[in-house]
Amino acid sequence: MGTRLSPIRADNGMLQQSRKFYTGGRGSGGLIDPLESQGSLTLSQDRSFLFAVNAGSGDISVFRVHHSRLVLTDVAPCGGSSPNAIAQHDNLVYVLNTGGSSSVAGFRLSQNGKLMQISNSIRFLSTNTSGGASLAFSPDGRFLLVTERLTNNIDAFTVQPDGTLSPILVNSDPQPGTFAVIFTPGGAALVAETGPAGAQNGSTISSYAVLDDGTLSSITPGVPTLGAATCWNAITPDGRFVYTNNAGSATISGFAIDPNGALTPLPNTIQATNPAGSSNLDLTISSDGKFLYSLNAGLGAIGIFRINKNGSLTSVGSAGGILAHHGFNGIAAL
Amino acid sequence: MRRILTALTIAIVFGFANAGMAKDVDSHDAKAVFVMTNAANGNEIVAY
């Protein structure tokens, strides 16, 4: 049962009310981007379930989604510690655990929203302090990719029929600053990279094909985002465009994706600018592909942008109702 | 006749109940945005 809050500001008329729903667990707390991940709040493919990590209490929550109302269906131990991201494919759910020995753990999701951990599903990343930042299933469910911030690796696992994973295959990302991976509908992996330490607006995005054994083959390497601290990315449902949130420069970059996964910057690359000090972290796109939402944790706001037919973005306002510098992470949209 | 009416009434009541449930479960096209507080003293999801 949610706690109803007072109406929030809604510049564009879309985000008018807010409610809060307790996850049944504890977060990590913090100020700006404490989880350092993408996918801490994840909708299921059919958008009927919402998954949330509880990094402080070491568990994950599952909600049944009823429009903007959530019903908690389960709180389950994460199979490790300090979970910071979740990925789902059909009834298979994997959690990225960053605490202790970095690992992933697998679960089966029942129709009523209960999680059951899969026996022998835990796989360790390339090293204990790898800084796991995201994980994503390929569209056909054959592969699970995991990014490691601190080692600059992209781990590939083959999904077995019983839901367990193959031994790890470690791919070294040739671009510095590996952060978040997502898949295009055609099966190309897109990786947001923060760039070399100390570089000004030196972040990039790359695309890769996943070969049969999990090896990554470069399609388009290191396209500049012309932004700083590019950590998060989101793809339109039709797979035509991908956007990156550049937290260090408060900008959003846009790229066209061709059917083979090749990336081309949209004109001028930067498609939108958030207010200074936004610390724009996670971003998400509505299921109809019409709007992009940016979690601006530094200002305690959600930036709202209309996605135009040519991929350009138009700011249509912002919504408040969240606290600035209070550790917010994760955003998802129906 | 009375049994038939009773059966019809039950069917209608269950039909309405199931229709309501189906609508609730299947209507995911309505727009909503969710953000996580990640609060250490009790994690919450803010729904818009």
DSSP A123-152: EE-SSTT--EEEEEE-TTSSEEEEEETTTT
Chain A: residue whose CA lies nearest to B27: A67
Minimum-distance CB partner of B47 among A18, A26, A35: A18
CA-nearest of A216, A244, A213 to A229 is A244
Q: How many Cβ atoms from other residues are within 10 Å of residue A185's Cβ?
A: 14
Q: Which chain A residues contact residue B41 at CB under 8 A?
A: 26, 29
Q: Which chain A residues contact residue B24 at CB under 8 A?
A: 66
CA-nearest of A250, A300, A253, A252 to A279 is A250
**Confidence band for B4, pLDDT divided at 50, 70 and 90:** low
Asked whether the beta carbons of residue A68 and residue B32 sit closer than 8 angstroms, the reply is yes
Residue with tokens 């599903």: A121
Tell me the Cα Rg of chain A: 18
Q: Which chain A residues contact residue B23 at CB under 8 A?
A: none
Along the 334 residues of chain A, how does pLDDT read in single tens digits? 444 443 333 445 367 667 999 999 999 999 999 999 999 999 999 999 999 999 999 999 999 999 899 999 999 999 999 999 999 999 999 999 999 899 999 999 999 999 999 999 999 999 999 999 999 999 999 999 999 999 999 999 999 999 999 999 999 999 999 999 999 999 999 999 999 988 889 999 999 999 999 999 999 999 999 999 999 999 999 999 999 999 999 999 999 999 999 999 999 999 999 999 999 999 999 999 999 999 999 999 999 999 999 999 999 999 988 899 999 999 999 9
Residue type, A313: L
Taking 60 as the threshold, does the pLDDT of residue B5 lie above it? no
CA-to-CA separations, A16 to A10, A19, A321, A334, in angstroms, rounded: 5, 11, 10, 15
Asked whether the beta carbons of residue B48 and residue A322 sit closer than 8 angstroms, the reply is no
3-class state of residue A284 by DSSP? strand
Q: How many Cβ atoms from other residues are within 10 Å of residue B30's Cβ?
A: 11
Minimum-distance CB partner of B44 among A23, A56, A67: A23
B48: tokens are 């818009």
Q: Which residues of B make CB contacts under 8 Å with A?
A: 24-25, 27-48
Q: Which chain B residues contact residue A47 at CB under 8 A?
A: 28
Minimum-distance CB partner of A329 among B34, B36, B40: B36
Q: Contact, A156 vs A210, CB < 8 A?
A: yes
A332: tokens are 């998802």
Q: Contact, A229 vs A203, CB < 8 A?
A: yes
Q: Which chain A residues contact residue B22 at CB under 8 A?
A: none
Asked whether the beta carbons of residue B28 and residue A14 sit closer than 8 angstroms, the reply is no
B14-47 tens-digit pLDDT: 444 443 333 333 333 458 999 999 999 999 999 9
Q: Domain extents for chain A?
A: 173-334
DSSP state string for A182-249: EE-TTS-EEEEE--STT-TT--EEEEEEE-TTS-EEEEEEEEE-SSSSEEEEEE-TTSSEEEEEETTT
Q: Tell me which architecture the domain covering A173-334 has in CATH.
A: 7 Propeller (2.130)
The helix or strand, by DSSP H or E, that contains position A297, with its residue range, turns out to be none
Distance CA A213, CA A216 (A): 9
A9: tokens are 């500001």
